[in-house]
Structure formats: C-alpha cells, structure tokens
Structure 1
Amino acid sequence: MSGKEASVYIVRCGETIRCAKVYKEATQRSFKKAVAYREGRKVRNSRRARAMEKGSGFGREQQEQAWQSAEVDALYKLAAAGVRVPVPYGCFDGVLLMELVTDEEGYVAPRLNDVEMSAEQAREDHLTMMGYVVKMLCEGIIHGDLSEFNVLVDENGPVIIDLPQAVDASANNNAEWMLARDVNNIREYYGQFAPELRDTEYAKEMWALYEKGELTPDTVLTGQFAEIETEADIATIMQEIDAARDEERFRKERQKEAKHGVDESKFNWSED
C-alpha cells in the first residue's frame, strides 16, 4: 500500500513474514505542515542542528533522517510502555522493518475505518484507545495524526500505526490541540456505533491532568470535564489598565528628563 509519507510492503525475513515501510522523499510526500510537527524535536549533534536550521542540502538530508527516526524511536518507546504498536526491528537506509499485524486468518489486519462493530464493542475499544493515548502522553508523545485510518484491528483489538509525525508533548506549542484532534477523531468514529461517546471530553480531562503533573499510565478517566467559567471583574481590569498607563506616562517623563537634563537651580538643596 502507498500512503502520504511512505509505501508499505510485505516482505520475507527468513521464514518470518514482516512489514517494510519505505519512506518517500520530502518532495513526494503529501503530508501537510510537517514543520508544525517537528517543533520541539531535539537534535543532539549541534552541526546537524545548524544545518537543519539553514536548510542546506546536508541539513535537508538530516531532516529526513530525523523524520524517519522519530517513528522508530516512538515505536520502541511505546511498545515498552504497553501501547499496542507494530513491533519494530530497526530502520535501514530509509526502510523501517516491523511486525506485520494480521487478522485471525493470517491476512493483513483491516484498518479501523473498515470495521463494523456493536455498541458494546465500540465502547470497549474506545476505552482501550483512550488508555493507549494516556500511556503515550505519559511518555511525552502525541501521535499527531491519529484517526480511524491509522489504527489496525486484529483479534486482540486496536493497534496504533504511523508515527513519523509524533509530537513532543512538552516542547511543541501545538501539542494540546493535536492531542484534542487525535482523541476527538477516535471519539467520533466509535461514536457512530455508540452515540453516547460523542458527549465525552477525554482530551480536555487528559490534558488538564497532564499539565498538573497528575496523569499516570494507570489514571482512571471519567470522560467528563467541567469548564471553569468566571465572570470578568471589569472594575479591577480597568484599574490595572489605568495603573499601567500611569506607569508608562511616568516612565516616559523620566526618559525625557534624562535626555534633556534638569535645571537644578529650580530646587532648594539643603545640606541634609
């Protein structure tokens, strides 16, 4: 299959059947706004970092390697954290070798968007997915492009795939809304089969706990979130604005005096 950032092949490794993901060059990828996803990613080698900033030929090459390694790093980290992702076996010359996720009969597992289910199954799988997103967030990772098209379903449930655009939750200014988009995409899909899921607010609940440092892999979520709404104290706000204006006016007067000097003869100086 060919996707927006890579083509995927079924390959034989000895007697084992695996999956090979061959990344496309930047000029051939249709993934939009990649810069927003790269924000906050750290490159240890300062020479590489400078080259990537300048956008030189070497820098673009390093940027491609960073794009590919982001998925490899995320797969290893998430697999260790208990998130169901394809088991990675390494990346070689732009080719990511990983587990082939199959169904009960050994065929390639279907994507979530091709699966019909009961309301009970939708609720169960949705809860599983929310648990995976929490574990990802606890590892500092946000998928960034999560939807029913980036989830496979095998006999044991959902498996999250496609992570080259994985976002650093603590360093990317777009992290909060990307998390919300991921979670809400999944909510809307499962909500087709269990409509009550569309009233949940898991993204807001997760992010609020994450910001306070209270989110753990074992956190039990409710799916409910109460927005804090308070009326603005207009009088206090206006007082602060007036105080700021007075301070600015005083600052300008002081600057003017310093620039033009002050006639000290106007003052009656005492020895004290």
Structure 2
Amino acid sequence: MSFSTTPSAASHPEPDSASVFTFDFQALEDPGEGQRWSTWDTIERLCHGPEPRPDWVVTGSALDTELGVLKTGKEADVFLIERTSTNDPERTVVMAAKRYRNEDHRTFHRNNTYTEGRRTRNSRDTRAMAKGSEHGKAVAAGQWAGAEWEALKTFWSQGIPVPYPVQIDGTEILMEFVTGPDGAGAPRLAQARTTPALLQTWFDQLRDAMVGLVRAGFAHGDLSPYNILAAGERLVVIDLPQAIDVIGNPQGMDFLHRDCRNVARWFSSKGHEVDEETLFADLVAYAY
C-alpha cells in the first residue's frame, strides 16, 4: 500500500470567483502642514457630543485643517478647524476649536469662588493642583475644559442656546462655529448693531436662556454682552467653564445677581429698560 502526499484537484477545487474576498483600499497621504487626522474614532464615546447630533457633524475618518485663529482669550484661544471626511470629500464643516492653556500661559486666573461646590475625585490631582506642580497645572487646565464640555452638553440637551459641542480631546473642545446670516462669524452682542425691535427680541431670548440655566441649577457666572453672540436675530451664549451651581455654591445667588446686573445695564444703555432686581427676582423663582 502506498500513500501520495500530492494533493489532488478533487480535494482542493479551484475557488469560485464569487467567494473570493478582495480588499480595495486607497493609501492616504500624510497630513500636510497645519493638518491632522481627526481623533473622533480614537477618543472615548463619552467624549462625543450628545445625540441626536446635528446633520452637519462629520464623524468617522476625517482630516482636520487649521484655518487660523478666531479669538485669543485670557485662558484659552479659539481656532477655526475645517473637518473633511476622507470617505466623502464633499462632506466638510468648519468648527471652532477652543484650546485651554495651562496656568503658566494664562493672563487670567479664576479665584476659588467659581469652583466652590465642585470636587476632584483623584486625591493625587488635588494635591498636585494645590502645590502648583506641572502635573497640577495640566490637571487644572483639563478641569476647566472638562467643566465647559459638561456644561455645553447639559445646556444644549436642554434646549438652551449654546454652541453644539462636537467632541473633547484633552484640553481642546471642538464645537459649532456660530455664524450670522452672511455666513461670517457672529459678532459679540456688545459689537452688534441694534434696533428697538431687535433689542426686544434679544432680551426675550436671553431671559429665556437665563431661566433655562437656573432651571438646570446654574448661573452663567460671567454673563455679559461679550459672552453672547448675535447670529442675526438669534442669540447664543458662550464661554461657560465657570458655570455656577446656584444652590451648591455658597455664592451662587451672588453670581446670578451679577449676571442680571450686567444684562440689565447693557440693555438699558441701548434704550431698552430692564430692571436688574425684577429680573433677578424672576429667575430666583425658578431656582427652587
């Protein structure tokens, strides 16, 4: 008896062309200057914006191109980022990228009254921040970014007019780039042209936004015509890292009253009279 080690054609038939798997892929070029790959697919899902997401949000594989500086601030800078899908180059969107600086590179340092009622879970991080170590400074910058991220998610989900938060990665938040009717970046309320009709519309919107914040348990904490965008007839509230817990923070009501004073004085200076005490009393009624 003999055995053959040569496989027969019958035992290894030619594969059917319909059952053969092929991979059709295109090698992507390395990002150019001022470009990077989107981190959407590599960050945790909790770092994605709330659902349902607006149709303009580009998810999945994409290329981010930095277009320039939109605004420099005391504790963070805002850049314009264009995100383009690698699967559909026609699908693109321009977003605002807010990048927080660490303590060494800020020109403004918030005092502890803003953070009363907040807690840091990691005791090592708490000690590092108290000592002012490099790790502590990085943690502090991340905390402010994280605080604004949580505020944006919460407020947007509750219908309060804030920019849609797309994602957070470290100390950078990507969010909606708010534009006016002409497609250009919306001006701050302090720089917008006013009319009596617009002032009434804007005040009604802003009061509703402040009511929404208080119902959620918060005051903006630094509300002024410089932290509000005028996108045509629509107002959008921005700069929320210091959002104050009006109940948990012992000075919460003081911050709310200051927000009311800033709003009332600006509208009154433009000819639309607003009484700060009446506004404050109206808002306090929604806090309890």
Q: TM-score scaled to structure 1, two decimals?
A: 0.71
Number of corresponding residues: 211
- Tell me if 1:2 matches 2:54: no
Mark the CA change 1:56 to 1:28 in structure 2 (over 3 Å): closer, same or farther.
Answer: closer
- Tell me if 1:135 matches 2:212: yes
Secondary structure in structure 1 of the residue aligned to 2:79: strand
Structure ranking higher on relative contact order (CA contacts 8 Å, 6+ apart): 1
- Residue 177 of structure 1 is matched in structure 2 by 254
Q: Contact 2:80–2:96 (CA<8 Å) still a contact in 1?
A: yes
TM-superposition CA deviations, 1:180-206 (whole Å, max 9, x none): 111221111122233432466211332
Secondary structure in structure 2 of the residue aligned to 1:64: helix
Structure 1 unaligned segments of length 5 or more: list them. Answer: 214-272
Q: Partner amino acid for 1:134?
A: V
Measure how far apart 1:107 and its partner are: 0.5
Mark the CA change 1:124 to 1:88 in structure 2 (over 3 Å): closer, same or farther.
Answer: same
Structure 2 unaligned segments of length 5 or more: list them. Answer: 1-70, 85-91
Q: Contact 2:214–2:286 (CA<8 Å) still a contact in 1?
A: no
Secondary structure in structure 2 of the residue aligned to 1:103: coil
TM-superposition CA deviations, 1:22-61 (whole Å, max 9, x none): 1122122233433221111123344434544555543333
Q: Counterparts of 1:95-244 in structure 2 under 5 Å?
A: 95-198=172-275, 201-210=278-287, 213=288
Larger Rg: 1 or 2?
Answer: 1
- Tell me if 1:41 matches 2:111: no
Q: Which has the higher strand share?
A: 2
Q: For 1:33 and 1:11, how far apart are their aligned partners in 2?
A: 28
Q: Partner amino acid for 1:189?
A: W
Q: For 2:149 and 2:207, how far apart are their aligned partners in 1?
A: 22
Q: Contact 1:123–1:197 (CA<8 Å) still a contact in 2?
A: no
Q: TM-score scaled to structure 2, two decimals?
A: 0.68
Measure how far apart 1:128 and its partner are: 1.1
Secondary structure in structure 1 of the residue aligned to 2:193: coil
- Residue 240 of structure 1 is matched in structure 2 by none
- Residue 218 of structure 1 is matched in structure 2 by none
Q: Which one of 73, 83, 105 corresponds to residue 13 of structure 1? A: 83
Q: For 1:200 and 1:119, how far apart are their aligned partners in 2?
A: 22
Q: Which has the higher helix share?
A: 1
Measure how far apart 1:123 and its partner are: 2.0
Q: Contact 2:103–2:109 (CA<8 Å) still a contact in 1?
A: no
Mark the CA change 1:187 to 1:199 in structure 2 (over 3 Å): closer, same or farther.
Answer: closer
Q: Partner amino acid for 1:6?
A: A
Q: Counterparts of 1:25-40 in structure 2 under 5 Å?
A: 25-40=102-117
Q: Contact 1:126–1:187 (CA<8 Å) still a contact in 2?
A: no
Q: For 2:109 and 2:115, how far apart are their aligned partners in 1?
A: 12
TM-superposition CA deviations, 1:195-233 (whole Å, max 9, x none): 4324662113322542xx2xxxxxxxxxxxxxxxxxxxx
Q: Contact 2:227–2:239 (CA<8 Å) still a contact in 1?
A: yes
Measure how far apart 1:70 and its partner are: 0.4
Q: Partner amino acid for 1:135?
A: G
- Residue 12 of structure 2 is matched in structure 1 by none
Q: Contact 1:83–1:135 (CA<8 Å) still a contact in 2?
A: yes
Measure how far apart 1:156 and its partner are: 4.3
Mark the CA change 1:50 to 1:207 in structure 2 (over 3 Å): closer, same or farther.
Answer: farther
- Tell me if 1:24 matches 2:101: yes
Q: Partner amino acid for 2:203?
A: H
- Tell me if 1:91 matches 2:168: yes
Measure how far apart 1:80 and its partner are: 0.6
